[in-house]
Amino acid sequence: MSSYRLYLLICGVGSFASTTAFTLNLIYQATVVGLSPLQLVLVGTLMETVCFVAQVPTGVIADRYSRRLSVIVGYLLMGAGLVVWGLVPSYAAILAGTVVWSIGVVCVDGAEEAWASDEIAPDLVTRAFVRGGQVYQAGSFVGIVAAVGLTAIAPALPIVAGGVVTLALGVLLAFVMTENNWSPAPVGSWRSMHRQVVDGVRTVRHSAVLAAVLGATLFAGMSSEGFDRLSQPFLLPFLGGYPVELVFGGLAMAAALGSIVVTGLAGKWIDVVRPQRVGRVLAVVQALIALGMIGLGGAGHWWAAVGLYLGVRLLRDSAEPVLNVWLVSATEPRSRATVFSIVSQADALGQIAGGPPAGLVARRRSIGAGISVAGLFVLPAVALYTLAAKRSREPVAAASTYP
Measure the CA dihedral 90/223/372/362, to 10°.
Answer: 30
Q: What is the pLDDT of residue 168?
A: 97
Give Dmax over CA atoms of the chain in angstroms: 63
CATH code of 3-176+191-391, in short, is: 1.20.1250.20
Angle ∠(350,351,356) on CA atoms, nearest 5:
110
Amino acid (1-letter code) at residue 260: I
In one-letter notation, the amino acid at residue 324 is N
How far is Cα 284 from Cα 276, in angstroms, rounded to an integer? 12
Alpha carbons within 13 angstroms on the beta-carbon side of residue 383 total: 7
The rounded distance, in Å, linking the Cα atoms of 357 and 370 is: 8
**Which burial class, exposed, middle or buried, applies to 341 when counting CB atoms under 10 A from its CB (0-12, 13-18, 19+)?**
buried
Q: Which of 5, 70, 49, 124 is nearest to 337 (CA)?
A: 70
Q: What is the pLDDT of residue 88?
A: 92
- pLDDT value, residue 370: 86
pLDDT value at position 86? 92
This prediction has a pTM of 0.69
DSSP state of 306: H
Q: List the pLDDT tens digit at each of the 403 positions of the chain.
A: 788 999 999 999 999 999 999 887 877 887 788 877 567 667 777 888 888 787 767 767 776 778 889 999 999 999 999 999 999 999 999 999 999 999 999 888 878 888 888 888 877 887 888 788 788 878 988 998 899 889 888 889 999 999 999 999 999 999 999 888 766 655 544 455 555 556 556 666 666 777 888 888 889 888 887 788 777 778 877 777 677 777 777 887 787 777 777 767 766 665 544 656 677 778 888 899 999 999 998 887 888 888 899 889 888 877 777 777 777 766 676 667 677 777 877 887 888 888 778 878 877 888 888 889 989 999 999 988 888 877 766 444 443 333 3
Among candidate residues 240, 213, 245, the one with its CA nearest the CA of residue 344: 213
pLDDT score recorded for residue 215: 87
**Can you tell me the distance from the alpha carbon of 207 to that of 366, in angstroms, rounded to the nearest whole number?**
41
What is the tens place of the pLDDT at every residue in 46-75? Answer: 888 888 787 767 767 776 778 889 999 999
Domain boundaries of the chain, sorted by first residue: 3-176+191-391
Asked if residues 83 and 144 have their Cβ atoms less than 8 Å apart, the reply is no
